[in-house]
Structure 1
Amino acid sequence: MANRESVDNKFGRKALQVQDAQKRILAYAVRLESETVPLEEAQGRYLAENIAATHPVPAFNRSGMDGYAVVAADTENCREGGTVWLKVVDNIPCGSVPSGAIIPGTAARIMTGAQVPDGADAVVMLEATETRELDGIPHVGIHKPIASGRNITPRGLEISEGESVLPAGRKIAAGDIAVLAAFGIPGVPVIRRPKVAVFATGSELLDVKEPLQPGKIRNSNSPMLEALVREAGGEPVMLGAIADDLDLARGKVQMALETYDLVITTGGVSVGDYDIMGDLVREEAGDMLFNKVAMRPGSVTTAAVRGGKVLLAFSGNPGACFVGFQLFARPAIANMQGAAEPFLPEWTVILGADYAKVNNYTRFVRARLEVRDGSVYAHPAVIDESSAMVTIKDSDCLIIVPPEERGLAAGTKVRVIRLP
């Protein structure tokens, strides 16, 4: 413990709780400006303003089935078992407008979804009628009385004109596209996607196309971060990998902060002799938001603000980088798009296997969800070390293990963060 405390003192590290770290980041990851995009490009974007109904839905009294639009009072005489004959004065296919009003003693042939003519207050299903001609004029016979309002969807039943239908900050999904189309909104007001610069540090990194060399590893974090940024709604700008060179990193970070909305780095934030991002952030300590978080993995996650732009420096360990992105970068990217809820959802589930690891910090354990016998279980990854990469692909949640827990038994209820 003494060695760790001396290292923390040397590097000015004081652990911040995860929620406090998130608040500091979101204070600077502010909503960007709005823009208008075509309806067909709006899916996955965040609405910039409330959308209100431009007309009621349905916009007219709508027939719920094929049949005859009638005045319900005309069918009262059917109670004695007789048949009421009504003159058919109109034929209304779906999409057509009635030629006139229905008065007592008349009816209109009507199709499902068509506009019910004025005067009619019920639709008799086709199967409950018969037809004949009287003096060359078509008539419909009704055998049973029908209540007023039956088989008619009234105007404005779903939505009234002026009613709010989609709130600002909502992430647009397929159902929302249908709503926007129904109200004739071809251009959708959304928040601009943030441009997120990503680069990695480390002299040990190889490009994905390079053959493996002794002492080297391929840069898997950058492609992962690119995918995560895109998944979060941002536009990734890949700036490659740089060697452990403080001057080079300084220049690259400064350029990125001046050009893009958010800068993410991976690697170089530990306490080693070549961890340049930690050194770079400490150069202007007044701009540092934090350089240690009370979490595992990724306690060395670091954040700073320069010129109003946030710099997020994650561990080079893939597991820590992945968890750090979900906890800090994803909410920041969502907040910059005006998301009503920037954080991933939390569920309470059942632990599917014993978890024995003990920590002084909150641990976020990669895990896999399973639905069994109507309950949701979370199975922790067998290997959840910070450096482990392969288990990321099998994880769809993070189990939250508080520091006061001294091991958890299978069957215990636990909180999880649900991953996209």
Structure 2
Amino acid sequence: MLSLQGEARFNRRAVKVAEAQRRVLEAVQPLPPETAALWRCGGRYLAQSCEATVDWPPFARAGMDGYAVHAADTAQATAEQPAVLRVTGTVAAGQVYAGTVQPGTAVRIMTGAAVPAGADAVVMLEQTAEAAEPGAQAVLVKAPAVPGQNVAPRGEEFRCGAVIARPGTRLGPGHIAHLGTFGYAEVQVHRRPRVAIFATGTELLPVGAPLAPGRIRDSNSAMIAALVESCGGEAIPLGHIADDPAAVSLALEAALDEADAVITTGGVSVGDYDVMAVIMRNLRGAAATRAGAEDPEGAAHDLLGAVVREGAQLELPGQGAVPRGAGHGLLFDKVAMRPGSPTSAAMVNGKPLWALSGNPGACHVGFELFVRPALRRMQGSSSPLHRTVNARLGAAVRKGSPHDRYVRAVLGERDGLWTAELLAFNKSSMMASLPEANALVRIPAGPEGAEAGAEVTALLLGPLHE
């Protein structure tokens, strides 16, 4: 097999992580909204503003089982000398008491029921006892009540018209509870992005296949699919493809026709057979000359087709990135970071294409830094980047690096401060520590690493990152 790459493989210009994130987030746009049943909207991003449709609570509401009373009638009540009140009725949740609570009387009331007119307090059942009055039921109140006691006034939580959720909000169970309370049986949410995924590499086998000499199973595709689903996308796994430029280019064209975004893993570095590096370099050079084409979709497919037609002889002009908004072209093909510096991204016919490393550790970092924020942006997120916290390193990092490093870690708390314990097996090609990691710790570039106790930035992963 001929080498796919010449000297052009070394002409990649690294951009900082923040700049690469900016380019991706500026290039993608939220997908159109769709109407979904409220119970299906957990984890989705809201595409409309939602307001309280009534005051909440909509009436003065009892917070306890007990008796609705005039607080003044109980002012002198004690356990030894309780106030005696005549009981004139009962009101349960969902009912409305027809009368008015007069001085010297009480109404038996259940939690959540509307407090009758005339009453200004609810005495909890445990502070009362039944009393026998000639010809009438009575209650003994053994402690004084104050106005408003155990009563939620109308509008205490929300006033009619108050905003309860804004566009871009990721809907959790609490939001769903609010929306259901105010009658939103359906809401507008952004469509989930459909993400095609495939791996490149002649060495790859299906996950279910027995190992063979020199071969490994394609675990990256399954990992990426799980990552896509974890941030709200719909994964479309397309398997693995050998290091064949024609096959990979055709697979990319088909994937871009079917999906809203495409992620590949493998073949992105400077190796002789790294086909994705050639394709991304083609997008970098050729797109600039075709950005003004009358048919952007056709031009985008031509960029991929050029690899099929010219294969290993492909030499590509130009070094500049395509202007934002052109709809196709390279965003970056090298990032100043470890691991995963060859991580690349492009836009093809307005759809994002990410070429991630084939090394599992680097693949994971590339997804978290550049894919997850973009997929969240495509779903309308108002804050697509990871949450970060400052943490103290639990142990020293002795080795320096010319670029910032993103190291898998377990984040915990000690003496009220976040601490970051770096995990073993943290090299780009290693995967043993992937399940344990709940953070990526950024170790700044420098010749000497970082000392134990040094303050570092930690990007939160898993349940912590939202």
Specify the TM-score bucket, using the shorter chain as the normaliser: over 0.9
Q: Which amino acid aligns with 2:413?
A: V
Kindly report which structure 2 residues correspond to 1:227-238, keeping only aligned pairs within 5 A, or say none.
Answer: 227-238=226-237
- CA 1:197–1:117: 2 relative to 1, 3 Å: same
The one-letter code of the counterpart of 2:386 is: L
The match for 1:313 is 355
Distance in 2, Cα, partners of 1:143 & 1:381: 61
- State the 1:251 CA deviation: 1.4
What is aligned with 2:168?
169
Residue aligned with 2:199, SS: strand
SS of the residue aligned with 1:304? strand
Following TM superposition, by how much is the alpha carbon of 1:193 offset from its aligned partner in structure 2, in angstroms? 0.5
Deviation sequence 1:299-332 (CA, Å, 0-9, x none): 1111111111111101111111110000000001
Is the CA contact (8 Å cut-off) linking 2:391 and 2:418 kept in structure 1? yes
Structure 1 residue aligned with 2:85: 86
Tell me which residue corresponds to 2:294: none
Farther-moved stretch of structure 1 (120-129 vs 90-99): 120-129
Deviation at 1:57, TM superposition (A): 2.0
Partner of 1:381: 423
Structure 1 residue aligned with 2:216: 217
Deviation string 1:168-190 (CA, Å, 9 cap, x unpaired) is 22222222222222223222321
Deviates more, 1:130-139 or 1:112-121: 130-139
Q: Work out the CA distance in 1 between the residues paired with 2:100 and 2:439.
A: 60
| Farther-moved stretch of structure 1 (57-66 vs 259-268) | 57-66
- Structure 1 residues 118-140: Cα deviation after superposition (integer angstroms, max 9, x where no partner): 11111223344444454512233
Q: Distance in 2 between matches of 1:141 and 1:384?
A: 70
Q: Name 1:71's counterpart in structure 2.
A: 70
SS at match of 1:394: coil
Maintained 8 Å contact 2:67/2:124: yes
Matched residue SS, 1:278: helix
Deviation at 1:374?
Answer: 3.9
Q: Taking structure 1 as the reference length, what is the TM-score of the superposition? A: 0.92
- 2:409 pairs with 1:367: yes
Q: Secondary structure at the match of 1:409?
A: coil
Q: CA deviation at 1:30?
A: 0.8
1:25 matched to 2:24? The reply is yes
Local SS of the residue matching 1:190? strand
Q: 1:67-95 deviations in whole A, cap 9, x for unaligned?
A: 2212233345659x966543322211222
Q: Distance in 1 between matches of 2:127 and 2:14?
A: 76
Q: Which amino acid aligns with 2:347?
A: V
Ranges in structure 2 where 5+ consecutive residues have no aligned partner: 1-5, 289-328
**Aligned match of 2:340:** 298
For 1:4, the equivalent position in structure 2 comes to: none
Q: CA deviation at 1:141?
A: 4.1
After TM superposition, the structure 1 = structure 2 runs for residues 172-211 of structure 1, keeping only pairs within 5 Å, are 172-211=171-210
Do the aligned partners of residues 282 and 104 (structure 1) sit closer, same or farther apart at CA in structure 2, a change above 3 Å counting? same
Residue equivalent to 1:123: 122
Equivalent residue of 1:213, what SS? coil
**Structure 1 residues 185-220: Cα deviation after superposition (integer angstroms, max 9, x where no partner):** 222321110000111111111111222112211111
Is the 8 Å Cα contact of residues 90 and 99 (structure 1) preserved in structure 2?
no
CA gap of 1:405–1:111, structure 2 versus 1, over 3 A, is farther
Partner residue in 2 for 1:3:
none
Equivalent position of 2:306 in the other structure: none
Question: Are 1:351 and 2:393 an aligned pair?
Answer: yes
CA offset digits 1:145-169 (Å, max 9, x no partner) = 4322222111111122221122222
Contact residue 84 and residue 141 of structure 2 kept, 8 A:
yes
Aligned length: 413
Distance 2:441 2:145 in 1: 58
What is the Cα deviation at residue 348 of structure 1?
Answer: 1.1
Contact 1:8 1:14 (C-alpha < 8 Å) held by counterparts: no
Compared CA separation, residues 405 and 186, structure 1 to 2 (3 A): farther
- Tell me how far apart the structure 1 counterparts of residues 229 and 147 of structure 2 sit (CA, whole Å): 54
Paired with 2:76 and 2:125, the residues of 1 have a C-alpha distance of 19
Contact residue 264 and residue 355 of structure 2 kept, 8 A: yes
Where structure 1 has 5 or more consecutive residues not aligned to the other structure, the ranges are 1-6
Contact 2:402 2:447 in 1 (8 A): no
Contact persistence 2:399–2:447 (CA under 8 A): no
Task: Establish whether residue 60 from structure 1 lines up as the match of residue 102 from structure 2.
Answer: no
Task: Tell me whether 406-415 or 376-385 shows the greater mean CA deviation.
Answer: 376-385
Partner of 2:253: 254
Q: Secondary structure at the match of 1:299?
A: coil
Which whole-Å CA distance do the structure 2 matches of 1:301 and 1:134 have between them?
A: 84
SS of 1:16's partner is coil
